[in-house]
Amino acid sequence: MIQLLAEFDHLIDLHETASWQETKERVFTKIATTNLRRARSDLAAPIKAATTDRVWAVISKFAVELICCTTEGLDFKKEIFSEKVRLDLERMGEKPCRKTAHLQIYHEMGDDKEVIEVLFLLRNHGAHGEDPKRKQDWTRIERFVAAILGKRYGKNSRHKKPLQLTEYEGSEVKLKILQQLCDAIGKLNTSR
């Protein structure tokens, strides 16, 4: 738990100082940072779950909170969008707006954005039930988590039941996700 708390403190520091490349203004709203501070002790608590399903539920809740404080907590202004992202949006028939602001953060994070993408998938997983179209998303989540833990992830196990996780492994996944998120948000501060 000490490592998780330390990593949360690091995330909060990065959260407060992250700035957009285009405007040098704050990336996250002050409310999002306040919410992250409030959620810190709950999210950093060790997992106490008797079953793999409960461990996954705790990890999913963790993902929801992190997404709410990161990509859903963006301090949006139209000026944040780089020319490249504006052109990409134009090609997709979209306009720079709050709904598409996450594309700018993806652009600025570069290769480190995978953790955000997986957090989105985790957040949305429970909302769609057992939709067969979502199996690919669940497989991506399980592969990501297996890689974090250094576990083998075989083709035969992917659709039968969730990747088996212990309480300790669930806490380890939370720590590694936080570390990767800190790396990604840290990139916002250094990509100027």
Return d(Cα 57, Cα 191) in angstroms, integer.
34
Q: Quick one: which of 116, 34, 107 has its CA closest to 67? A: 116
User: Smallest Cα–Cα separation from 178: which of 36, 73, 28?
Assistant: 36
- The 10s digit of each residue's pLDDT in 133-161 is 778 888 889 999 999 999 887 665 544 56
Residues 114-131 have pLDDT tens digits of 998 899 888 887 665 567
Q: Name the phi and psi angles at 11, rounded to 5.
A: -60, -45
Query: Tens digit of pLDDT for each residue in 67-111?
Result: 989 888 888 777 788 888 889 889 999 888 877 888 888 888 888
Are the beta carbons of 33 and 15 closer than 8 angstroms?
yes
* CA–CA dist 91, 102 (Å, integer): 16
SS3 74: strand
| Tokens standing for residue 187 | 């990139």
